[in-house]
Amino acid sequence: MKKRILGKSGLELSELGFGCMGMSFGYGPAEDKKEMISLLHSAVESGITFFDTAEVYGPFTNEELVGEALFPYRKQVVIATKFGFSLDPKGGAKWTGLDSRPEHIKQVAEASLKRLKTDVIDLFYQHRVDPDVPIEDVAGAVKDLIQQGKVKHFGLSEAGVNIIRRAHAVQPVTALQSEYSLWWREPEHEILPVLEELGIGFVPFSPLGKGFLTGKINESTTFAKDDFRNSVPRFTPENRKENQAFVDLLCKVAARKNATPAQVALAWLLAQKQWIVPIPGTTKLHRLKENMAAVDVEITSEEINEIEQASLNIKAQGDRYPESSAKLINR
């Protein structure tokens, strides 16, 4: 697999990463640990070098899984994890609020290092912007961790332009991780130009629209009772029916290229900027292989223009987060 560098940071990654959250959290019951370790090993052996996790995924169990799985390959992979939530250390509520106080950031770093079975975190993101802690203090805390050799790179997630600029002035930001896909293109308006200006890489999460852009979900699909998509307005049956237009567009292009809609969706993202590294997640080996094959799907400028023009006539129906979670974005 080809490599990409996140902005001007020098951090080199496989051009497609792996989002590990769904193995332990969010999309229904946690998957079998041995099977997930085997899948992560397959990912590394197939050329993926970038793996994304967070303490809140589980909580804690996803970091433990990633740490165990990647320990034999530690020198050849890049591991990203995140801080910023207040969690019950006994494993009760998944999160009880935001907490990016410098002392808490450093506590999270120590705990994550242990769970990940490593002596350094390659990329440490603030998971969500904390309105009660100045971003300069957050960046300063991560800067301290970098100087101590416990962290290599600083990242932000779902942060707005003002926060990005302020943080970057204290400690250079290596990457912003935010949602970006054919059905959520808001980052194109302000975020991507600022990242390009500052030399910051972009890591799109949910590059397949939380599974919708694979074409395997329709209005009659039912999710596990603890699948978070049950509470997402964009995933109501009515909105799924309306949003099928995005999948139809991808299928039209995919049919000409002997590809799947998921592969075209990922190839489209990869074609946007050379410093974009999407992190699709999966719990299935055949989906991993499908995602990885997307790097060989060449999208021509004519096809990009075709997708662009067609998507202008499609409006995504439904918010991407329930109201209770939307308040955590772009503070």
Question: How many domains would you assign to the chain?
Answer: 1
Residue 224: give the domain boundaries.
3-326
CB of 182 within 8 A of CB of 307? yes
Q: Quick one: average pLDDT of 229-248? A: 97
Residue owning tokens 């034999």: 72
Q: Quick one: average pLDDT of 247-255? A: 97
**Is the pLDDT assigned to residue 323 strictly greater than 90?**
no
pLDDT value for 92: 59
Measuring CA to CA, how many Å separate 297 from each of 1, 114, 311?
Answer: 13, 39, 20
200-216 confidence digits (pLDDT tens): 999 999 999 999 999 99
C-alpha span between 65 and 133 (Å, rounded): 30
Q: Quick one: average pLDDT of 283-312? A: 96
pLDDT value for 331: 57
pLDDT value for 200: 98
CB of 218 within 8 A of CB of 235? no
**Proportion of the chain in helix, strand, coil states, percent, rounded to 5:** 45, 15, 40
Residue 331 is assigned to a structural domain of this protein: no
Question: What is the chain's Cα-based Rg?
Answer: 19
Least Cα distance to 213 among 166, 245, 168 occurs for 245
- CATH number at 59 reads 3.20.20.100
Token couple for 189: 């308006």
Q: Quick one: average pLDDT of 214-243? A: 97
Band of pLDDT at residue 191, cut at 50, 70 and 90: very high
Determine whether 180 is an active site residue.
no
**Is the pLDDT assigned to residue 316 strictly greater than 60?**
yes
CB of 123 within 8 A of CB of 11? yes
Residue owning tokens 């790097």: 295
| Beta strands 3-5; 12-14: pairing state | antiparallel
Entry pTM: 0.97
Helix, strand or coil, per DSSP, at residue 12: strand
- Spatial CB neighbours of 114, under 8 Å, sequence gap ≥ 6: none
Residue 234 is assigned to a structural domain of this protein: yes
Catalytic residue among 57, 73, 125, 321: 57
In sequence order, what DSSP letters do the residues of 59-70 get, joined into one string? TTHHHHHHHHHH
- Spatial CB neighbours of 177, under 8 Å, sequence gap ≥ 6: 52, 80, 125, 155, 156, 157, 158, 202, 203, 204, 205, 279
Helix, strand or coil, per DSSP, at residue 201: strand
Q: Quick one: average pLDDT of 298-315? A: 94
CA torsion, points 254, 259, 264, 266, in degrees to nearest 10? 170
